[in-house]
Structure 1
Amino acid sequence: MDNARHVRLNKIRGRYPHVFEAHKYCKENPDKFIGRIHGPVVLSINVKDARYASMVEQVLGGSASSHLRYFIVENEQDYRTFSRILVDEKKLKVNVAWPSVGNEVLRTPTSAAELKSRYGMDYYASDILEGDPHVMRYLAQEARISKIPLALSHSSEENISNSGIFQKFCVGQTYYNVKTAEYGKRNKQTSTTPIRTAEYLGEAVDNEAKNQLMEEYRTMEGNLQQADVMIKEYNLEHDQIKQKVQAYKHQKEDLISQKRDVQLAAQAYNMKLGKLEDLKKQLELLKQKPAVLQERIHKLKEDVVTQKSAEERFVKKYAQTLQKYVDCYEMRNIYKLQEIHANEKFKAIRNYATEQDKVLHDAENNLAAAKRSYQSAQRQALVYKKECEEAGNNLAEELHTLFQEILRKWKEEGTEETLETLEEKIAEEKGRAEGIRFANPDAMLHYEERKVEIDRLQQKIDSLDGDIEECKRQIATVKALWEPRIDALVQRISVKFSEAFERIRCSGEVAVDKHEDFDKWGINIWVKFRDTEKLQLLTGQRQSGGERSVSTVLYLMALQNLAKSPFRVVDEINQGMDPRNERMIHEQIVKGASAPGTSQYFLITPKLLPNLFYNERMRVLCIYNSEWLPAKIKPLSSYLEHAHANGIS
């Protein structure tokens, strides 16, 4: 399940079937090419340390980057063959590159030791990757893997940004991009992007096989739980059978005892039967004797019959007696169990009665103590009530008013203070007053002077409060004239802004940021790019660079219907956007800028994605700002001819 190459290939087959078909063709037809075809790149590279997998994938442009889907050839002939067969004939949308640079492109700006000691970074991206030299040279040329350092933990990011050596670097889960202004003081601006978890270069698992095994595991686990239930049922049945076996064992013992008694009776019967046979023999002998013995013989026969009948009665009586004995033994066991149950119940009731007697005795003691405490507290409360009613009668007018206010609060809110704490506070205040009189004999005079000054200042404050209220009324009057107009204008902008965000399946609003200080008024832009999020304020730290660019463009488009100008210019607005946002924003700009009655619109960018939205009111200008062109770039006319041949206008 952990075959990373197999998992990567399955992802390529699902997302980019043309790349998969090209890879399959190259594997099945190696005789078509002179050298080896490396690719796609995602199958030809490996990350030495899995902890850096997400960083390396971000450096290569992310999981949707075309760098990972490029095919690398080793010579020009294979480049032409690959393009002719797979691109022109089979019409596969794949990219092929032939790196015509040497190993110098893999040279790093600093040594590994200096990178760690001076800047606190771990490795360059090229140090973590391993692959064929042709693939590594291509990635160094196009993705600059030998110029981008990586670090797992935070270091001095500001020092790295200001060094002037590194334009891009990764620290932890953040990707930094340092740009230097082309004009003026050439200030540096650093933008950050959160690093997403690697989809291709991390440790991969064959999810289909894993899910199948997990499904089998869950099925077996369900069977195991069902077997546990059956085992519990069988155990219960086993216990019941065991109880029956035990009962049958007791019955067997009783039957064995009965059998033993019957055997003893049978043995006695056999002995008597043997004795009867002896008597019969004797009878035969006696028959041969004279007739005088006939009477005795007859008598002996009668004795034999009598003994036989008696023996039969004894056997029946013994069986009846044995059955009565068994029934009595069972009744004796039942009565014994009832006796044990009654004794235990009697003990429990007796213990419960003892405990309840003790609880009742304690409750009576507590009730008596509570009554005594209540009566004592009642008497003390009457004394305190009388003292409180008499308190404050001889106080000065000011203190008497203060005293009445304290009483009112106590009646309304209550107090947790006791008589002892009040007496301590009174003594403390008296001591403080005596200390003031002793330390400053003129304290009362100063008090009167300050009281007069306080009255004067209070009158001044009242006058100023009146002036402030008048100013507030004037401000409210003026504010009522222009604030509704601003709110209405911003509401119009917000409606246009929300409609633009809905077209890209996101949400956005614009609102006035109001403060008591009018210098701090401003515009707040609220955006939401994911269904699981809430509307968040657009800031320079919360959203990514691409999200800020999208919000800025849509805000400017919401403003363009409110402000008239001969033309508008937007420079590199698509830089930092992911391909999805770049396509949606480009389509919005094209539709808005090409509508009838709008101003002329200039969009300047160093790169554009293929197959963007265009219409007939647009004009595309490609500027070659160089004295020469690379040998691999064909003349512009050949690209135009190829476009016309494929029906691209």
Structure 2
Amino acid sequence: MARRAVTVESDDSQKENSGPRTSERVKMERSAKTSAKRETLQTHEADNDRNGDELSSNEEDEAQDEEDEDEQGTGSPKGQKRARLNVDGDGMPIKDETKGTGRAHELPRDDDGYIPGSIVRVQLYNFVTYDYVEFSPGPYLNMILGPNGTGKSSIACALCIGLNFPTALLGRASDLNSFVKLGADKGYVEIELKGKKGHGNLTIRRNLSANSKSSTFTLNGQSASGKEVNSRIAELNIQVGNLCSFLPQDKVAEFARMSPQELLRETQRAAGDANLTAWHDTLISSGKEAATLKEIALLELIIPVREYSEALKRYQDAKVEQRRLHAEVQRLKERNAPAHELLAKLKKQYNKLNAAREDKKKSAKAKFGAMKKKYDECDTLETEVQNYLNALDNLKREEKEIAKKISELERRIKNLDDEIANPPEMEDLDVLNSELRILAQAQREITHRQSELQDRQRAHANEVGKWKAAINEAQQGYIFLHESIARLNDVNHQKLQQLARWDRDCADTIEWLRQNQHKFRKPIMEPAIISVTVPDKAYATAVEACFGGTQMKTFVAQCEEDYDLLNHLVNDTDKAIGRRVRVPTWFRPYSETGLAPPPLSSDEMAAMHFDGYAIDFVECPQEMKWYLTKELNLHRTAIALDSKKVPVAQAMELVSRLGPRGEGGGATFIAGMTQNRVTRSRYGKRLPQNSTYDIKPARNFGQSSVDKDAMKRFDAQIATAQQNLSKLEEQVKGLTEEEARIRTEFNAKKAKYDEFMERKKAVQKTQEKLQRMEINRASAQKQLEMERNKPSVKDRRADLNRKTLINCQKRAKLARDYNDLARAVIAEQAEATRIGLQYLQIGANAKALEKLVKQHDEEFQTTYEEYTKVNEIFQAAKTESKEKLDISRAKLDAADPEISARFREMENNHEMDEMTIEGIRLELETQEAELSMNLNTNAGVIEQFERRKAEIESLSRTIEGRERRMAKIEKSIKAAQDNWEPALEKLIARIGAKFSAAFDRIGCAGEIRISRHEDFDKWAIDILVKFRDSEKLQLLTGQRQSGGERSLTTIMYLMSLTEEARAPFSLVDEINQGMDARAERLVHNELVEVTCQSDSRQYFLITPKLLPSLRYEERMKILCVNNGEWLPEERNLGNMMDMIDTFVQRQSRSNASA
């Protein structure tokens, strides 16, 4: 029976299968649509007619230029998986697969009995409880036995993790590094899978690290990625992630808690036709798509009707508010008119008085300007008169000063005449010049000698500079030497400071020991980090690699008494440094025969290109070498800086040689930056093993040490520098004495020359003084004549009196003019004051009235602005309501009858009353996002005159496209269902028959049913069981049945599924927990029966217990797991067949002896 995967919206939808297909129904019912749609819109049209009358008011204009918006198709989200559709939105045709009859396809079995994908071998290293194990399962039933805690479930974990399935499937630790054995750094899981017939096996190794949550893979020994591993696993159809194929211990209860829907999907994946899951997915996706298309059509019909209803409501509300505000605006305008008229009259009077006031102010300002001009002129004349009076006063003083000045000039001339007539005595200048010429000649000779002396001084100075430079160089070398020695001697101090930063206890102990060595019989050797140096820094890294962190800090005692005392004072008590510390100490009695000999002779060292042993490259106290050889084997550690020259394999063979008494067999050598530790196994053939480690650059031995050759060179340089310094000091002393003699002679000659020059300067100074006196006498005579020839004081006094009289006459006239202007200004100022007072009064009246008018106008303006806004809203609502009405009519005319019926039902039930446009649009977007293709709609801006017509055409095309799409979807659903449902029914029938028969054999009842539903994703498998005669069949759940009952049901279902399974192997872990002995025995026998047939697949059963006398088949393989501290190294000792043979032989011997 075909079922449609759609949600039932009403009783009408259930009748669709009995009528014609969707496309035919659309044609048949076109004529019946109009009456129903008109009936639906009858109320809306009546409302719109009333609105049309109201909207024809002269106060509003209809807006006709609003743009249309076409429907936009929305694609499905990228994250969704959809059935493939072609460009028309039709489902792609599904191939008519052969319907499954009988059991699943049988995989080809190789000669060894394994089928492709079976597990041939498992190897574990440092995995959970295992150090190392390797075993080979059989191709049929594998029973893994062992006590609790031995690691049986670890094998299930290994299969899951080794095949790159997530750890969440195990229900245990989620991090990969949690599966590495405690105490180990790394581990791995290696699984060998059977390949296809004629091809080699596939070996997968997954390497794990305890320090990282990541891992690496290899495929047949080649590095590979997790994706490559998954691809190869998928090719073999291995289903570790399916609880029907792989049921770990911690997931047994989860199987019963699986929902029936999950159980169906997992069963389809594990058994039956390989296309079951694909068919089911097609039905689910196509069914959802069909329901989504109907829901979209209904939502697209509801939206315009709801939009029109809301638009109509907005229009009616806006109209009421617009009418109210219009009336209010008119009332306020009429109320404010008289006040505006009075205000205009007052403003006119105010402006007229302001003009008259300004005229008076300008006239008064002009007169004030004339008055200021007269005042300034009068002030200027007054200043001139004062100047005249001052000049008259100055004439009296000037007359006295002139007489006094004439008298002084006459006295000065007389004095100068006396001095000129009686000049002082002075030497003859010619005689002095003659003497000076003689002295000049002597001075030139002295200068010549001085020049020669300076040349000699410069030559000596250059020589002295050379010797001084040599002295300075010797002194710098001397200083550098001592600084270098200080730095070299300070290395130990630097080491101690560095040690204190990372081990304060050890550093404090060293400092205490240096102050208290007297307390011990023999000196205690400081740790190697202080007392050991590597002169050649090229070997510092290799030598330091021989030391461990503790060995670097170990204090070495030379006798047992000192060893005990040191531990007592430092480690056991706080007597040494004030606190108890933990520092390593060491003592061994010295014995020349207690050391193992070096592994290589000198010739062998040279042949292997080793530079020497580590002990050859260190400097330390002799007492320290016993520790370095006995404890660290530095005399047995060969070092080569160039790793390329060392044949590692040959060196490994040489150093691992055994002595005559079996001693030796291992040593360490360093090649370049790699340390090789060669050992021999203590068991079996004792084969040599080589462990390599990368060494890090030296941190402690990399510092500089004292260079003794450098110290000798510095001593020689100091001695040479001191000899040169003595010679230079003697030469400098002689040059200095000669320089002093020359300078003394030069100074004497220069002093005598300076004396003659002073006498000549004295004669010249006297002559210059007489010349200045002649010049001064002529100047005084000229000034005296000028004073005697100045104008008469009496004439100047008469001229000043005349000018003063004229000035006073002018000032009198200006005073009369100023008085006339002042009287005129007073009259105009009085008139201006009167006009100003009147101006202020009218201005105050106008201002008060303007404030009142403004208050009224503000109320009017606010109301008017509100009216303007409401009117715009009203006009927009009017236009919008008309457009929404047209759109809703078009939508209803184009709607499918089924959608129209659903719409009318919702309208009659008032289901749309509470729906909002935003909510409907959101729901529509959600539904459209579920479709995998966009609807073909026009997305441009359409011309206004074609808007309504284009919209109707677009809606029609959309509806027709969806109807075609619905038809294709229904065809796709039928094709998939015709394949899937029969195949599923046959599979469940076969599984159910085996399941019921198995339950019958144990005296219980069980049944498996298919639970059908309108939605294909809700189809399910119900497992019903009955364990008591008094109860009915009940659905298996995670809570209803007991743990043993759930385990029994689970294993019965898995066994029923085994013959139909497609996976190459299956696993169940401790499924028999909680079962009684009877049920466990029956389950075991059933399992052996099902899994040991010739065509059975590989099966793993993990259990910690077994009942006696269970059924055994030759195809079974028993894997026993045990652990403990004393397991033998030989792997054959755990072989069951060998153990049985040994037991039989012992029994035979016992019987024979008896």
- Same fold at TM > 0.5: no
**If the length of structure 2 is used for normalisation, what is the TM-score?**
0.19
The TM-score, its normalising length taken from structure 1, stands at 0.32
